[in-house]
């Protein structure tokens, strides 16, 4: 399993002075809106904090490691007379996923902080993930296998948060592999169609009966995502030049 090798590497890179870490590649500013407050400017008492983090690593041209974690914390002094927050749940999941089938080929689940001594006994049951495809129907299958008394509530919630990342990596992996292979030929019309059809009915924009899909089916062009357009403008470049850069 890749976890042992990856954990060893991260333990040396995420400490002080140990070199760069994958965390250095991303922003870590707050993503929640500012705290709520009443008319007098007082912030209500904070009761709980839950955070999810999922990161994907390219292992090979057809293999990705998804590493996820969930952590619940209580604020200082709520349960214990203490000046520090207390972690009440901390679970991690490693999934090795093969592409393009999106099949889970290896799984490793760890319950690191939990309320009961018996909690980690369920870890081995999550080996049932191996062989599943992270495609449509995955959420239903996860509930079937690990819902309620068949799993850990928090671990199963983390699994459901990780699945969309595997799908997002289809595009990222394709781009990474193509760039490492050098200049690419433009995709054929059939390949272009196949690339966007995977999004059908995944959200309201990609409604199979909606305007955007009708535009594409009539031969319309894909447009760059808004975040690409905004970044290109920030860099003083033309958004329409992005497609040419991706093809280099």
Strands (E) across 2-62 are located at 49-60
pLDDT digits (tens, 9 = 90+) for 7-66: 544 443 444 344 578 989 998 889 999 999 999 999 999 999 999 999 999 999 999 999
Q: What is the arrangement of strands in the sheet containing 49-60, beginning at the earlier edge strand?
A: 49-60, 63-74, 86-98, 103-113
Contacts of 125 by beta carbon, 8 Å cutoff, 6+ apart: 146, 150, 151
Per-residue pLDDT for 4 more than 50? no
Most distant CA atoms of the chain, gap in Å: 65
Q: How would you class 96 by CB atoms within 10 Å of its CB: exposed for 0-12, middle for 13-18, buried for 19 or more?
A: buried
* pTM listed for this prediction: 0.84
So where are the chain's domains? 47-169, 189-247
Residues 170-219: tens digit of each pLDDT:
888 888 887 776 665 566 777 777 777 878 888 999 899 999 999 988 88
What is the Cα–Cα distance from 175 to 191, expressed in whole angstroms?
A: 14
- From residue 9, alpha-carbon distances to 6, 14, 15, 93, 100 in Å are 5, 9, 11, 17, 27
pLDDT of residue 11: 44
Alpha-carbon gap, residue 106 to 130, rounded angstroms = 6
Q: Cα separation of 146 and 142, whole Å?
A: 6
Q: For the CA atoms of 180, 184, 187, 188, what is the dihedral angle to 10 degrees? A: -130
Residues of the chain with pLDDT > 70: what percent? 87
Q: What is the per-residue burial (b if ≥16 Cβ within 10 Å, else e) of 175-203?
A: eeebeeeeeeeeeeeeeeeeeeeebeeee
- Measured distance CA(152)–CA(109) in Å, rounded: 11
């Amino acid at each position: 399993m890749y976890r042992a090798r990856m954990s060893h590497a991260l333990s040396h890179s995420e400490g002080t002075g140990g070199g760069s870490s994958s965390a250095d590649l991303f922003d870590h500013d707050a993503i929640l809106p500012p705290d709520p407050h009443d008319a007098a400017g007082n912030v209500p008492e904070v009761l709980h904090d839950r955070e999810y983090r999922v990161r994907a690593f390219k292992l090979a041209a057809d293999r990705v490691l998804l590493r996820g974690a969930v952590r619940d914390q209580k604020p200082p002094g709520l349960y214990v007379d203490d000046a520090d927050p207390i972690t009440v749940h901390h679970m991690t999941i490693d999934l090795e996923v093969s592409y393009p089938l999106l099949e889970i080929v290896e799984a490793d689940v760890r319950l690191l902080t939990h309320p009961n001594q018996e909690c980690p006994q369920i870890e081995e049951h999550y080996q049932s993930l191996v062989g599943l495809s992270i495609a449509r129907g995955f959420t239903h299958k996860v509930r079937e296998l690990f819902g309620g008394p068949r799993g850990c509530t928090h671990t199963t919630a983390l699994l459901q948060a990780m699945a969309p990342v595997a799908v997002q990596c289809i595009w990222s992996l394709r781009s990474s592999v193509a760039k490492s292979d050098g200049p690419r030929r433009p995709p054929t019309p059939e390949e272009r169609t196949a690339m966007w059809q995977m999004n059908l009915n995944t959200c309201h924009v990609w409604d199979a009966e909606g305007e955007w899909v009708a535009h594409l089916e009539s031969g319309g062009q894909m447009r760059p995502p808004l975040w690409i357009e905004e970044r290109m403008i920030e860099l003083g470049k033309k958004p329409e030049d992005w497609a040419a850069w991706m093809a280099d």
